[in-house]
Amino acid sequence: MQTASPFHPLEQPHSGRLLLCASLAVFAAAMVGILLRPLGYLSVFWPANQIVLVLLLRYPRLMRPLGLAALFASFVLADLITGTSLWLSLGFTTANLCGAACGWLFLRKQSQRDLQMEGQYSALLVFFASGMASLASAAIGGPVSVWAFGLSLTQGLLMWWTGEWMNAMMLLPFLLALPSARTAVTAKERRSWALKFLPALAVVGLEITSYMVGNKVGSLVFSLPALLWCALSYRILTTAIITMVVFVTKVIVVSNIVGFIPANVLDVASLRLGITMLLLGPLSVAGAHAARTELLHRMRYQAHHDSLTDVLSRNGFVQASHTLLKRLTHEGNSAAVLMLDLDHFKRVNDNHGHASGDRLLRDVSQLLTASLRPQDVLGRIGGEEFAVVLPTISFEDATAIAERLCQTVRSGQFQTAQDAPLQATLSIGLAYRQALRPGDSLEALLREADLALYQAKAQGRDCAVWTVPS
């Protein structure tokens, strides 16, 4: 079965290597699950199924007979090495793979955002999909555990379903969020060290309190406020890790207290279901928070950038230049402010159409961006008008850059919307300060540059004009 992976094609490794790595990962996870089995065969911490599900989502090629056979063999091998009988292992493994395949069917068509837990409803989606996958797995695993442990059918189904679902809600969000560790942190907030770690410290504090309070049902939810605080403060991956660690620890500790005997199946199942529901809270908040942060980031970008040329808009340019000039003034540093205006731009629109004018604006913006230094600030401040701030620069270098910009546009290979060649020239006015003083506001420098630009137009255009600093 061939299905498109929601992940980038470059992430898809060679088939042989993929099979080997996937099998090793599943084998290792199954061994971890088996070795941590506190209560007979119904392992309370079983990461292997969620690893299989994430592998299937990332590498749909594994959903072929060879891939599934390799995954199947990894489970069985881990069982046989640790003394489980072959027939029991075949039953358990079929249940495990069935659950993973069912989860894959539910999740494979979801957006990459949701599959990285960064959508508004990602946690609910994972909650629903893993609930269904656990049911599918329990439909096989339940009867197998009846045969293996002498439980009633209801008990077997209940134990398998709740155990699987709880494991999925603890592990799947973390595993799904893993790829986003590579993506850049968008909105970096500068906060003090203490503030940054406070939510995590609150979790630790409340968890310690809950263990000190002891085996009381209420203590299960003590850390919920701190987990919600983490969800609002950290990236989704960090929240998923913290949530996973808190609840895996809780489950291991609590399972040692409650103990598994057929008589308290209902207690264990209700505890597991309670934890599964609890996990939904912080994960939902984290997903909604990630979606909101991304939206804010996009809106902030749009508010500061010109949609046609993608350089800073007037608003963005003014804000960035203000901050820059303030710093340069504080340091007593130099700066040049340039006003740039395309010559006879109206004619381009009139003779070749508005679309050609737009294309020229985009192409000129790209040329200007490529010609400037990374620390320079470029913005489109009007129709065919641009402005630039060149920080920390000598007068000679500033005028040389202005002349080079004129030359770059003059020799630029532009085209109309119909791909016919197009000529363009640029006039520039320049204002310069060797050492910026508090009175040298952006507005004052732009006004001075505008006067020089007026002279450049009067002198016949396609040139740069400046007043020699006294």
Ligand X SMILES: Nc1nc2c(ncn2[C@@H]2O[C@H](COP(=O)(O)OP(=O)(O)OP(=O)(O)O)[C@@H](O)[C@H]2O)c(=O)[nH]1
Closest CA to 124 of 290, 287, 271: 287
- Residue among 321 and 365 whose Cβ is closer to ligand X: 365
Residue 33 tokens read as 């699950």
Our finding on whether 354 is near ligand X (CB under 6 A) is: yes
Work out the number of other CB atoms within 10 angstroms of the CB of residue 349.
16
Our finding on whether 410 is near ligand X (CB under 6 A) is: no
- Residue among 294 and 358 whose Cβ is closer to ligand X: 358
Our finding on whether 5 is near ligand X (CB under 6 A) is: no
Contacts with ligand X, 296-335, as mask; x by CB under 6 A: ------------x---------------------------
Measured distance CA(379)–CA(318) in Å, rounded: 8
Q: Which of 342, 364, 442, 465 binds ligand X (CB under 6 A)?
A: 342
Q: Taking a C-beta distance cutoff of 8 angstroms, is the pair 390, 338 a contact?
A: yes
Q: Which of 343, 363, 440, 448 binds ligand X (CB under 6 A)?
A: 343
Residue 245 tokens read as 């660690």
- Residue among 344 and 404 whose Cβ is closer to ligand X: 344
Our finding on whether 164 is near ligand X (CB under 6 A) is: no
- Residue among 61 and 305 whose Cβ is closer to ligand X: 305
Our finding on whether 407 is near ligand X (CB under 6 A) is: no
Q: What phi and psi, each to the nearest 5 degrees, are found at residue 436? A: -65, 140
- Residue among 364 and 431 whose Cβ is closer to ligand X: 364
Our finding on whether 409 is near ligand X (CB under 6 A) is: no
Three-state secondary structure call for residue 336: strand
Closest approach of ligand X to the CB of residue 462, in Å: 10
Taking CB under 6 A as the criterion, which residues in 382-401 touch ligand X? 383-384
Centroid of chain to Cα 236: 8
Closest approach of ligand X to the CB of residue 282, in Å: 46
Measured distance CA(145)–CA(39) in Å, rounded: 13
- Residue among 22 and 388 whose Cβ is closer to ligand X: 388
Measured distance CA(239)–CA(186) in Å, rounded: 16
CA distances from 106 to 83, 130, 442 (A): 34, 9, 56
| 130, β-bridge pairs | none
Q: Which of 132, 457, 462, 467 binds ligand X (CB under 6 A)?
A: 457
Our finding on whether 418 is near ligand X (CB under 6 A) is: no
Work out the number of other CB atoms within 10 angstroms of the CB of residue 43.
20
- Residue among 191 and 447 whose Cβ is closer to ligand X: 447
Label residue 462 exposed, middle or buried (CB < 10 Å: 0-12, 13-18, 19+). middle
Which one of the spans 86-94, 112-120, 157-165, 338-346 is the region binding ligand X (CB under 6 A)? 338-346
Closest approach of ligand X to the CB of residue 453, in Å: 9
Our finding on whether 458 is near ligand X (CB under 6 A) is: no
| CA torsion through residues 353, 359, 363, 364, sign | positive
Range list of H helices, 150-264: 153-177, 193-213, 224-233, 236-258
Closest approach of ligand X to the CB of residue 431, in Å: 19
Q: Where does this chain bind ligand X (CB under 6 A)?
A: 308, 341-346, 349, 354, 357-358, 361, 383-384, 457, 461
